[in-house]
Structure 1
């Protein structure tokens, strides 16, 4: 992304601490890069690309290259940053799912979420839908079905704690603001 290149003087600076660089990454790069990600439909290829971009950013913050042959886990341990960009996107998607489930039935996002389209679908494998991502995210946090997730999402405090607890592997992964 262009924001990483625009901030190149900061990443190369020896006067700025690694902690400050990491905070700038979280505040600027991640917030711009994941803007409106709660509505994304993410395929495996997209997930892979996001993780590769994230590791490139973390390597740039530390000032190491791939030629240095340092493992990704070592870089994350050095920065004490175990949260991945996918954790943040999953948390945003689940949070938005809970928000829509609590909406009154007359609201358009709720109608779109729970509505069906009449007719036959075309031949072949259907494209990945947003609800497919939500089902995968629910199973990642230990919720067996979307029906159960919808029931749990009606209790805002319970839903926030589920999303925050399950998708935060460490204290550095907590999202800013409310879930």
Structure 2
């Protein structure tokens, strides 16, 4: 944001919100950028060869009594809600790199 503030010629003393600066410069909303980044990382995990540590960690099922939610379940609900992709089709689509990248570019901003 420091770079964007300098480009816009606005200092912190002007007390202008970051979202207003991003909109004024034509940047994408922060939440949209985070969601794209999460979905992009999911695509990397799906395409990784078996045995790579990040893939193994993402598929791990820890033992214990503490309830927890899986990161992959969050990503599948994000993809279903925002892109309309079913969980059964999610992994197959993520394996095709070019198709997955084009889907991420079509991700609409949140209302």
Q: TM-score, normalising length from structure 1?
A: 0.46
Contact 2:29 2:109 in 1 (8 A): no
Q: Structure 1's 97 and 137: CA in aligned 2 closer, same or farther, altered over 3 A?
A: same
Q: Does 1:93 align with 2:38?
A: yes
Q: Contact 1:98–1:156 (CA<8 Å) still a contact in 2?
A: yes
Deviation of 1:165 after TM superposition, in Å, equals 1.8
Match of 1:149 in 2: 90
Aligned residues between the structures: 106
Tell me if structure 1 keeps the 8 A contact 2:43–2:100.
Answer: yes
1:161 Cα shift?
0.7
Q: Give me the CA root mean square deviation.
A: 3.5
Which residue number in structure 1 is paired with residue 102 of structure 2?
161
Matches within 5 A, 1:113-128: 113-121=58-66, 126=68
CA contact (8 A) 1:87 1:168 kept: yes
Aligned-partner SS, 2:41: helix
Measure, in 2, the Cα distance between the counterparts of 1:64 and 1:135.
41
Specify the alignment match of 1:40 in structure 2: none
| Deviation of the 1:144 alpha carbon | 2.7
> Counterparts of 2:43 and 2:101 in 1: how far apart (Å)?
9
Contact 1:90/1:167 (CA < 8 Å) preserved in 2? no
Provide the C-alpha distance between the structure 1 equivalents of 2:78 and 2:14, rounded to a whole number of angstroms.
32
TM-score by length of 2: 0.69
The equivalent of 1:106 in structure 2 is 51
In the TM superposition, what is the alpha-carbon distance from 1:129 to its structure 2 partner?
4.8
